[in-house]
Amino acid sequence: MLSDERVGEPVGMTAVLIAGLGDVGVRTARQLLDTPGIDRVLVAARDLRAAREVASALQDGAEPVEWSPPDAVPEGVRVIASAVPGEHDVALARAAIAAGVSYACSADHDVALRGLLALDVDARAAGTNVVIGCGMAPGLSDVLARHACGAFDSVDELHVARWGVAGDASISAARRALREPAREWRDGLVVHDRHRGPELVWFPDPVGARECELVATGVELLASSAPGARRVTARLGVPATGRFFPAGRFTPPGRRDPGAAWGAVRVEAWGGQGATRASIVYGVIERTAVAAGTVLGVVAAGLAGALPTIVAEAAPGACGLGTMVKPVPFLAELSRRGVKAATFEGVAVA
C-alpha cells in the first residue's frame, strides 16, 4: 500500500525519500529540509502514523508517506536515502533501481555492503547510482582516505579506526562486525587475519585513547578509495552500553564515560612523497548520529542535483562513497554544516 498525502505536487519537483526514521534518518531529513534545491522531503515508514509523527516533529514541511517494497516508489522521487538496518538495504536498493532512481545508504555491516555491491550490473543497466556506506565509517572515512592518498606519489598503507555507534541498528551491526572473522586488504586481496586483537587508538578528547578491534566491515570500499595501497585495515571500537558491550579496559567502573556519546574517525595513510616516506593522519569527532545523518543528507542532495559540485563524474553503478564524491568540495560542505575534519598533529606510528 502506498499513501502520499500530497499527490497533487508537480512531478518535476526534486523529491528525496527517507527510509528509516531512527536517529540517523531523522537527521538526514533535517539536512535535506535545509538544502536549497530540494523541493520535497518524504519521510517513509510502513506505518503512516509513525511517519506522521516524524514529519510533525521536523515541522519544516516534511511529508509523511506509507511505503515499503514492493510498493511503487512515490512519483517524483529522484533519490532514496536509506538509514534502515542493513538487512533491509538490498530490497530497498532493488526497488530504487527498478524505479530508475538513485539510492544512498548508511549501511555499516559487511554482509549488507557486499549485497549492495552485487547490484552493480543492475544499477548500470538501469542508469542509476547506488552509493554504499554513507555514514562515518564506512563513508566519511573513505572520503578522508581518498583525500589523504592524493597527497602521495604512491600509497603503501591505509589504516582507519572508528569509535562509536549511532543507535540500536548501529549497535547490532557493531556486535556482528566484532563477532565475525577479521579481514584486511593485502596486495590486492582480502585475507583473514588470525592474529586479531585490540589495538589502542588515539582520538581527540573527549574520546581519547580507545581499544579498537580489526573488522572486515568496509575494507574493500576503503581499498577502492586508495588504488595501489598494499595494505588496508579497518578497526572498530564501541562504548560500554549495558548488556550490549562490556565496559572497556580504559573506562573506570562506576564512572560516567565522557566519550561514550561521541563518535570519532581516524584515517592514517602512509606513502611516498618524492624520495621520502611520509604519513598523513586525518580525523573527525562528532556525535555519531549527527555525523552519519549529515553525510547521508549531503550525498542524497548531491545525487538529486542540489549540490552538483560535490559529485564526481561517475558512471551509473554501485560504489562506495570514496569514489563517488570530490573530496575537497564534499568535506567543505560537511564543514559548512558543522561536521569538520582536521589534520592530526604529531608523529604517526607505522
193 & 45 share domain: no
Lowest-confidence segment of 34-43, 298-307, 313-322, 333-342 by average pLDDT: 313-322
Residue 350 lies in a domain: no
The DSSP result for 64-109, as a single string, is EEE--TTSPPPTTEEEEEE-S-GGGHHHHHHHHHHHT-EEEE----
Residue 296 has pLDDT above 50, yes or no: yes
Residue 312 lies in a domain: yes
Highest mean pLDDT among 68-77, 249-258, 326-335: 326-335
Helix axes 48-58, 23-33, angle to 10 degrees: 50
Amino acid at site 74: P
CB 34 within 8 A of CB 58: no
What 8-state DSSP symbol labels residue 176? H
Does 349 fall in a domain? no
Are 42 and 118 within one domain? yes
Q: Taking 90 as the threshold, does the pLDDT of residue 166 lie above it?
A: no
Q: Is 334 or 245 the better-scoring residue by pLDDT?
A: 334
Q: What is the mean pLDDT of the chain?
A: 88
Triad 283, 138, 181: Cα angle to 5°: 115
- Cβ atoms within 10 Å, residue 56: 10
Check pLDDT > 90 for residue 84: yes
Give 306-327 as a DSSP string: SSGGGB----SEEEEGGGTB-H
When pLDDT is averaged across residues 179-193 and rounded to a whole number, the result is 88
In whole angstroms, give the CA distance from residue 92 to residue 101.
Answer: 11
Clarify whether residues 130 and 209 are in a common domain.
Answer: no
CATH number for 249? 3.30.360.10
Same domain, 32 and 79: yes
Residue 55 resides in a domain: yes
The predicted pLDDT at position 242 comes to 52
pLDDT in tens, 196-253: 688 999 998 889 899 999 999 999 999 999 988 999 999 999 987 554 454 444 444 4
Give yes or no: residues 153 and 283 share one domain: yes
What is the span of the domain harbouring residue 220? 140-288+334-343
Cis peptide before 10 (omega within 30 of 0): no
Residue 81 phi/psi, 5-degree rounding, is -105, 120
Angle at 275 between CA 270 and CA 279, to 5 degrees: 20
Please list, in sequence order, all residues whose beta carbon lies within 8 angstroms of the beta carbon of residue 119, skipping any fewer than 6 positions away: 90, 93, 94, 97, 130, 318
Average pLDDT over every residue of 84-113: 93
CATH number for 62: 3.40.50.720
Question: Do 301 and 189 share a domain, yes or no?
Answer: no
Of the ranges 16-25, 234-243, 283-292, which one carries the lowest mean pLDDT score?
Answer: 234-243
Helix (H) or strand (E) holding 232: strand 231-237
Checking if the pLDDT of 173 tops 70, the result is yes
**Does residue 48 belong to any structural domain of this protein?**
yes
Total domains present in the chain: 2
Specify whether 147 is located in the same domain as 281.
yes
Looking at the fold, whether 100 and 39 belong to one and the same domain comes out as: yes
The confidence band for 53, taking pLDDT boundaries of 50, 70 and 90, is very high
DSSP 8-state secondary structure symbol assigned to residue 119? T
Tell me which DSSP letter residue 135 carries.
B
16 - beta bridge partners? 41, 79
In angstroms, rounded to a whole number, what is the distance separating the alpha carbons of residues 229 and 322? 14
Q: Averaged over 8-31, what is the pLDDT?
A: 85
Q: Taking CA 177 as the corner, what is the angle to CA 331 and CA 181, rounded to the nearest 5 degrees?
A: 120
Q: What is the pLDDT of residue 196?
A: 67
Q: Residues 32, 129: one domain?
A: yes
Highest mean pLDDT among 168-172, 202-206, 264-268 belongs to 264-268
Classify residue 211: in a domain, yes or no: yes
Distance CA 44, CA 96 (A): 14
Q: Which runs of consecutive H residues, i.e. helices, occur in 9-73?
A: 23-33, 48-58
Specify whether 271 is located in the same domain as 319.
no
Which is more confidently placed, 144 or 167?
A: 144
Are residues 165 and 248 located together in one domain of the fold?
A: yes
**String of b and e for 155-169 (b: at least 16 CB within 10 Å)?**
bbbbbbbbbbbbbeb
Local structure of 88: helix, strand or coil: helix
| Closest of 163, 166, 241, 224 to residue 198, by C-alpha | 163
**117 shares its domain with 28:** yes
Q: What is the pLDDT of residue 3?
A: 43
Find residue 135's DSSP bridge partners: 139
- Residue 192 is assigned to a structural domain of this protein: yes
Pairwise CA distance, residues 119 & 113, whole Å: 10
